């Protein structure tokens, strides 16, 4: 018990310290590396709070994909000489602003104290919705409560979330133009490593997808692993020979939201209510949605890392 509380206190302080470093390191590269470390510590915190589903998503997306996106953006900013902060060359207005920073601590400390008081004043025990989730788990088609909430009880949220992910990619495609070419020949070690790791990652993703119906895992964790495999392949210089206009690419990208909408329409016809699956079919419907969503999430995340529309004329090695 004492050991556990000690670990919790150390992890809490560690989170705050790493977050401070990520936010205030003078070198932006160092700040981003601290941010990735912060994501991994967050994953530990989720495990400590009995939320392994979130831990998996945080490690793959919060630390992995977000970190890769940040480093990719930093490389492109440095190419246009905007990668460093302007802290060193502070002008007059900046100096006046620095002086008012100390005053900023007062309202922020008051706010933090108020929020902390609000947290402490809450009742120590609230069952929340656990009882309702447990009571309806049998009809949901899966036995992992988090997957049941994500894809059955609150399926509407998840459907819109898939649309948000697709919108981010469309926004990037419309702004960024064609993707930058691979920077240079990848080092032999990276190339070899990507060839070893990619099949392994695909296997783990398929496992997480399958096991997600009854244990921690599911479409988001599996999809983000696929996205990570895509990031690795892109870093190794591999490019799929598909243009952004290719039908196959667009079909996979829209498979997640598309299949979800089709299932919503099916359930509307069967039970008269959108996304209210008939219990007899719930399990198979959820699995179909999850397979499509995994593919879409993986491809969208890799596409976001590509930093532009895929061009397609490049031959894959």
Q: Find the binding residues for another protein in span 207-246 (CB under 8 A).
A: 220
Stated as kind and residue range, the H or E segment containing 171 is helix 155-176
As given in the structure block, the two tokens for residue 112 are 């933090």
Interface residues for another protein in 15-44 (CB under 8 A)?
15-16, 19-20, 22-24, 28, 31-32, 35, 38, 42
Residue 69 CB, nearest approach to another protein (Å): 5
Residue with smaller CB distance to another protein, 83 or 258: 83
Cα(40)–Cα(291) distance, integer angstroms: 26
Q: Which of 37, 47, 69, 252 binds another protein (CB under 8 A)?
A: 69
Cα(289)–Cα(260) distance, integer angstroms: 6
Q: Is 106 in the site for another protein (CB under 8 A)?
A: no
316: how many CB neighbours lie within 10 A of its CB? 10
Q: Is 253 in the site for another protein (CB under 8 A)?
A: no
DSSP state of 58: I
Piece in contact with another protein (CB under 8 A), picked from 61-69, 206-214, 230-238, 280-288:
61-69
Cα(169)–Cα(294) distance, integer angstroms: 16
Stated length of the chain? 317
Cα(239)–Cα(314) distance, integer angstroms: 7
Interface residues for another protein in 116-175 (CB under 8 A)?
116, 119-120, 122-131, 133-134, 145-146, 148-150, 153-154, 157-158, 161, 164-165, 167-169, 171-172, 175
As given in the structure block, the two tokens for residue 15 are 């989170």
Q: Is 260 in the site for another protein (CB under 8 A)?
A: no
Residues paired with 133 in a beta bridge = none
Q: Is 284 in the site for another protein (CB under 8 A)?
A: no
Q: Which of 62, 141, 212, 230 binds another protein (CB under 8 A)?
A: 62
Say how many residues touch another protein, by CB under 8 A.
99
């Amino acid at each position: 018990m004492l050991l556990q509380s000690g670990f919790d206190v150390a992890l809490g302080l560690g989170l705050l310290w790493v977050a401070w470093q990520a936010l205030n390191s003078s070198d932006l590269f160092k700040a981003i590396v601290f941010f990735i470390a912060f994501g991994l510590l967050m994953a530990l915190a989720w495990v400590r709070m009995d939320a392994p589903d979130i831990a998996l998503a945080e490690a793959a997306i919060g630390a992995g994909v977000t970190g890769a996106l940040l480093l990719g953006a930093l490389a492109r900013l440095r190419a246009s000489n905007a990668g460093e902060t302007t802290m060193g060359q502070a002008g007059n207005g900046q100096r006046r602003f620095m002086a008012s920073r100390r005053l900023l601590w007062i309202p922020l400390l008051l706010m933090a104290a108020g929020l902390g008081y609000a947290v402490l004043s809450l009742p120590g025990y609230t069952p929340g919705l656990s009882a309702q989730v447990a009571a309806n788990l049998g009809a949901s088609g899966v036995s992992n409560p988090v997957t049941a909430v994500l894809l059955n009880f609150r399926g509407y949220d998840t459907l819109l979330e898939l649309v948000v992910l697709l919108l981010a990619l469309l926004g990037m495609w419309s702004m960024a133009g064609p993707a930058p070419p691979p920077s240079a020949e990848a080092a032999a070690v990276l190339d070899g490593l990507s060839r070893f790791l990619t099949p392994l990652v695909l296997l783990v993703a398929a496992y997480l997808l399958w096991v997600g119906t009854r244990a921690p895992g599911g479409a988001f964790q599996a999809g983000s692993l696929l996205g990570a495999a895509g990031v690795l392949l892109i870093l190794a210089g591999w490019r799929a020979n598909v243009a952004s206009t290719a039908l196959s690419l667009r079909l996979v990208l829209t498979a997640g939201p598309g299949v979800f909408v089709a299932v919503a329409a099916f359930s509307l016809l069967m039970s008269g209510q959108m996304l209210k699956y008939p219990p007899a079919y719930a399990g198979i419907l959820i699995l179909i949605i999850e397979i499509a969503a995994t593919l879409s999430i993986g491809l969208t995340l890799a596409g976001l890392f590509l930093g532009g529309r895929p061009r397609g004329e490049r031959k894959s090695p």
